[in-house]
Each structure stands twice: as C-alpha cells, then as structure tokens.
Amino acid sequence: MSRRDERPQDGRSDDRVARDGALVFRWATVLVTIAALALLLGSCGAPATEAICNGDPGIRFAYRTMSSAGRVQALQRPIWENGGDYIYIDGECRYWVRQLADPPGDGTPWPNNAEQLIGPSYTGVLTPELAQRFERDLLFGAWDDLDRTSFRSGGADLPIIQLVGAGQFFVCIGRDCNDNSTAKGLVSAALRWTIELRSLGVPLDGPMRGLVVRYESPTGIVPQGEPVPIDQLGFLETAVPLGESESLGYGGYPLVPEAELELWRALRAGVIARDPWWYHITVSDPSGAIFYVNVRDVLPFEGDDGLVPPPPGL
C-alpha cells in the first residue's frame, strides 16, 4: 500500500483555525497533521538557545505529521501514532527524530523506501550552533507577523502545520500550507531538518512496541516474501486477528519482550534490506502459522499507552 492511498483530507479553513489546530494535536482526530509545537519561556526577544535548550528535561519542541488512524493501514498504525515523521527536542537539547520522507517541491512528504516507512528512529544532541540555526529556520519569535492573506478553504490534501510558543501561535491547514509561501517554507524546513538530524543521530536501541496480526485467508494484506521461521514466541502471543486489527486506533500497542528486542530489530533490518517497498515483517511459528508484524522504537517520554501527551496548556 502506498502513502498516496493513505493521504487524509480535511476541508476546514476559517478564522478559528488556530484553536481548531490545538484540539487536533490533543485528540489526533484530523485527517492529516503536521505539527510543530514549542513551549518556550521568556519574551520573543530571548536568544534562540534559551527558547528550547533551557536545561529543562521535559519536551520543549515537537514537530510531527499525523493522520487519523482510519486513513492508515492497520499494521502501520503503531508507527504513525506519534507521527509518521517527527522531531522532538527537550530542554537539554536532546532530540528524537523519524524521517518519513524527503521534502518535495510542493511541500507534501512522500516516503521513498522501506527505511522511511518502517525504519528506526534516531536520537542525538543539538550543538548550540545547530539549535540557533534550527530556530532561525523555523522563524521562532516571528510567527505573529507571518502572512496569512492567501489562506482559504477547500482542497485540504496537504499538511497542517502548527507552531506554538513565545506567546505566539500559527496554524495553516490543507491547501493553505501550500499556497501561502511562508507556511510552505516552514513545512519544507521542518522536513529538511528531519533529514539532517537523522544523519547526525544514532538509531534508538531501547524498548520497542508494535502490532502482530495473525494471517487469515483471504486477507487484505499482501504477503511480502516467504515467512521467516522464528522460535521466540513471546511477542507473537499478542497477535490479533486481521479483522480485529482493522478496528484498532492509536495507543495501547504491546511492548516487545526485552529478550526478543534483538530478534525483532534484525527482522526489521532484513525487511528493509530485501525490498525498498516492503512495509511489514512476515514470520511463522513452529506450527506453521503466519504472522504480519510491525514494530517501532519507544520514545522515552511517551506514556504507558505509547502516546506522547500534548504539551501542558493545549
């Protein structure tokens, strides 16, 4: 299944879009969201490194692309639940990033390979120079002055971008994110930063969670290659039938047993190496039963349900 089949749509556009955008981030009910959130302290004139890297261990900035669960294929929902792509940065300049796609000319992200579809997340630490350039590219402290004159309704087949912080708020929705040159520039800048930060970081090697779907015939999921036989069965015990998996939303996906983390990382890497467009792992147990699986890296600040909570105040 290609990302083109998953492209959500949202027809909203009115003078209250900023307030609607905040509710979108809290409840993840819109069809497509690209969110950039920064809970910043101080005035708009504060130095850039003070805005994010202020020593607070909590998350200070977040950018993420969201889609409603119903628009995402069931096996990809664990991967999408905190953002198809994202950047999270805490007050100690530590970042976590997932690159879903390269930034195209029209500002709309598309995945180009299995590494982007199901690959690992990366982490690292911003240098002061990187932090300053990051905030300059995202126009921190200037959001109230951004041009909104071209905003209009309809054609919501593009991202929502949401900027919060320094006492300011900026949101564009759908076609507005493409027609308004400033908004389009912000979306493209965020996408470029997912690429750069990923290249500077290292893959996460901690806990993982995901979804196991028991093969049923006929099935709407196309098998990808011969199943890999495995005998570590703890994670497979969480399997759900295909029909049940289609009704699952975001949150609550099980953790991979610690003893099996190395196995599932290797299986994921094998899928990525075999074919550029595979988007799930196919395995079998000793009885010959077949399972489709996707796993993702756990973010250290996500809740017990696997979801990153909205910042305070939203």
pLDDT at 124: 98
Residue 119 lies in a domain: yes
Q: State both tokens at 123.
A: 């982490």
pLDDT in tens, 90-115: 889 999 999 876 655 444 455 557 88
Order of strands, sheet of 94-98, starting from the edge strand that comes earlier in the sequence: 32-38, 59-67, 86-90, 94-98, 122-125, 202-203
Query: Domain check: are 215 and 107 in the same one?
Result: no
What value does the mean pLDDT take over residues 213-221? 72
Alpha-carbon gap, residue 311 to 314, rounded angstroms: 6
pLDDT in tens, 187-204: 788 888 999 999 999 999
Residue 196 lies in a domain: yes
Query: Domain check: are 86 and 181 in the same one?
Result: yes
Query: Domain check: are 149 and 230 in the same one?
Result: no
- pLDDT band (50, 70, 90) for residue 128: very high
Most confident of 13-17, 92-96, 107-111, 219-223: 92-96
Query: Domain check: are 52 and 125 in the same one?
Result: yes
Task: From 178, 203, 228, give the residue that closes a domain.
Answer: 203
Q: Which residue type does 90 have?
A: D
Show Cβ contacts of residue 217 under 8 Å, excluding neighbours closer than 6 positions.
none
What value does the mean pLDDT take over residues 235-249? 93
Helices assigned H by DSSP within the chain: 17-27, 48-52, 77-80, 114-118, 128-137, 176-179, 181-200, 242-245, 261-274
pLDDT at 56: 81
What value does the mean pLDDT take over residues 21-50? 34
Query: Domain check: are 15 and 163 in the same one?
Result: yes
Residue 48 lies in a domain: yes
Query: Domain check: are 229 and 265 in the same one?
Result: yes
Residue 304 lies in a domain: no
Residue 228 lies in a domain: yes
What value does the mean pLDDT take over residues 283-296? 94
pLDDT in tens, 49-77: 357 788 888 888 878 777 777 778 899 99
Query: Domain check: are 173 and 216 in the same one?
Result: no
Residue 314 lies in a domain: no
Query: Domain check: are 65 and 115 in the same one?
Result: yes
Alpha-carbon gap, residue 194 to 133, rounded angstroms: 14
Residue 303 lies in a domain: no
**In this predicted structure, which of 26-35, 236-245, 280-289 has the lowest mean pLDDT?**
26-35
Query: Domain check: are 196 and 237 in the same one?
Result: no
Show Cβ contacts of residue 16 under 8 Å, excluding neighbours closer than 6 positions.
none
What value does the mean pLDDT take over residues 165-180? 62
**In this predicted structure, which of 233-242, 261-270, 274-283 has the lowest mean pLDDT?**
274-283
What value does the mean pLDDT take over residues 207-216? 93
Task: From 203, 227, 262, give the residue that closes a domain.
Answer: 203
Query: Domain check: are 108 and 140 in the same one?
Result: yes
Query: Domain check: are 199 and 221 in the same one?
Result: no
Token pair 């990033």: residue: 97
Query: Domain check: are 154 and 272 in the same one?
Result: no
Alpha-carbon gap, residue 169 to 206, rounded angstroms: 34
Show Cβ contacts of residue 182 under 8 Å, excluding neighbours closer than 6 positions.
139, 146, 147
Q: Which domain holds residue 223?
A: 208-297
* Residue (of 216, 226, 62) closest to 138 by Cα position: 62
pLDDT at 127: 95
What value does the mean pLDDT take over residues 260-287? 90
Report how many domains make up the chain.
Answer: 2
Residue 106 lies in a domain: yes
Residue 229 φ/ψ region, left for φ over 0, alpha for ψ in the -120 to 50 degree band, beta for the rest: beta
pLDDT at 147: 64
Task: From 176, 203, 230, give the residue that closes a domain.
Answer: 203
Mean pLDDT, the chain, whole residue set = 74
